[in-house]
Amino acid sequence: MPAFLEDYRAQVDRALEKIMPPEGTNPSRLVSAMRYSLFAGGKRIRPILVLSSASCLGAGSDSAMSAACAVELIHTYSLIHDDLPAMDDDDFRRGKPTCHRAYDEGTAILAGDALLTLAFEILSNSETGHPVSPEVRVRMIAALAKAAGWRGMIGGQQVDMDSEGQVPTQPMVEYIHTHKTGAMLRCSVLLGALAGGADDEELKGLKRYGEKLGLAFQVVDDILDMTASTEAMGKDHGSDKARGKITYPAVFGLDESRQRARKLIDEAREALAPIENSEQLADIAEFVLLRRL
Ligand code: GRG
């Protein structure tokens, strides 16, 4: 694992620790459940993408850190809700009991809701250290709301649920993956680009990088769901197939899915051509393929 990734991860963890209420704060069961899931050992790829895309445009972590924390808060909420009995009904996440198993269903719903709303609170609050102009901040808030909402992650989740057990097709799997997973990854890159003051050409390249990487991330996840052990995944192995989920391997088979993942990562890297100092982003793409991130 390159040092820059470890360094980003440590910075994100420190920033999250600062914005989160300490254990024991009232209402203590809610705060404890929020902290339990937020500090359960996530890879922090979304905040790393925010910081790295801001950094290649010359912006320091301070200008992008609120956005980096906001995307991780939303990601954590989505995992908590995705694991609920009404959705995937999973018992384990990141190798630990899921939030509703460790606490209870009602608390898990509220912990997810509280993380979602906290994301917008810190992104909109100039006092939490976010030295970008009010105009840029509003653009970031709008981009995050769109990516997390009905036209993005939540829309993808709905189609994912509705299509369980249906005959898998390419348009269906691409819709699900680009919305459910891709939207938040693309948005992470976009938020970094906005914090870094990207010009039109840089914005175009970074958006394309985020799109390709976002789709590749879920394709790799689908492949791993079929091939990796439960221990390595930290969640149940083969669960997609058992549930009749629409996945890349279900549409294209394993070999072609691997080739498509490779191609998407190459395209993500090519999109960085007009952007100087984008080596870290190129490395991150490669790590996504090798699933070390
Ligand atoms: C329930 C509102 C709601 C949305 C659900 C994102 C999502 C939509 C559900 C999360 C579950 C899931 C399997 C999403 C696919 C994306 C994915 C592979 C998530 C895991 O992300 P990682 O690998 O997780 O970055 P860590 O644990 O490292 O944070």
Measured distance CA(123)–CA(267) in Å, rounded: 31
Q: Is 269 in the pocket of ligand 1 (CB under 6 A)?
A: no
At 125 the pLDDT is 83
Q: Is 221 in the pocket of ligand 1 (CB under 6 A)?
A: yes
Q: How much distance in Å is there from the Cα of 236 to the middle of ligand 1? A: 14
The Cα angle at residue 18 between residues 13 and 19, in degrees rounded to 5:
100
Count of residues making up the chain: 293
Q: Is 42 in the pocket of ligand 1 (CB under 6 A)?
A: yes
Q: Is 222 in the pocket of ligand 1 (CB under 6 A)?
A: no
Residue closest to 240 by CA, chosen among 105, 251, 110, 47: 251
Q: pLDDT digits over 65-81, tens only?
A: 999 999 999 999 999 99
Instruction: State the sign of the Cα–Cα–Cα–Cα dihedral 53, 275, 153, 173.
Output: negative
In one-letter notation, the amino acid at residue 212 is: K
Residue closest to 212 by CA, chosen among 270, 125, 127: 270
Q: How much distance in Å is there from the Cα of 199 to the middle of ligand 1? A: 30
Q: Which of 49, 93, 221 to mutate to test the pocket of ligand 1 (most atoms within 8 A of CB)?
A: 221
Q: How much distance in Å is there from the Cα of 216 to the middle of ligand 1? A: 14
Q: Which two tokens stand for residue 28?
A: 């203590």
The whole-angstrom distance between residue 104's C-alpha and the CA centroid of its chain comes to 24
Assess contact for 178 and 156: CB atoms under 8 A.
Answer: yes
Farthest-apart Cα atoms in the chain, separation: 51
Q: What is the pTM of this model?
A: 0.95
Per-residue pLDDT 10s for the chain (293 aa) are 789 999 999 999 999 999 999 999 999 999 999 999 999 999 999 999 999 999 999 988 778 999 999 999 999 999 999 999 999 999 999 899 999 999 999 999 999 999 999 999 999 986 655 678 899 999 999 999 999 999 999 999 999 999 998 999 999 999 999 999 999 999 999 999 999 999 999 999 999 999 999 999 999 999 998 887 655 655 566 677 777 889 999 999 999 999 999 999 999 999 999 999 999 999 999 999 987 65
At 243 the pLDDT is 79
Give me the half-sphere count of Cα atoms (radius 13 Å) on the Cβ side of residue 132: 29
For the chain, the 3-state helix, strand and coil shares in percent, each to the nearest 5, are: 70, 0, 25
Terminal-residue alpha carbon distance, the chain: 9
At 229 the pLDDT is 63
Which domains can be identified in the chain, with CATH numbers? 3-292 (1.10.600.10)
Q: Which atom of ligand 1 is nearest to the CA of 79?
A: 10
Q: pLDDT digits over 207-238, tens only?
A: 999 999 999 999 999 999 888 765 565 556 66
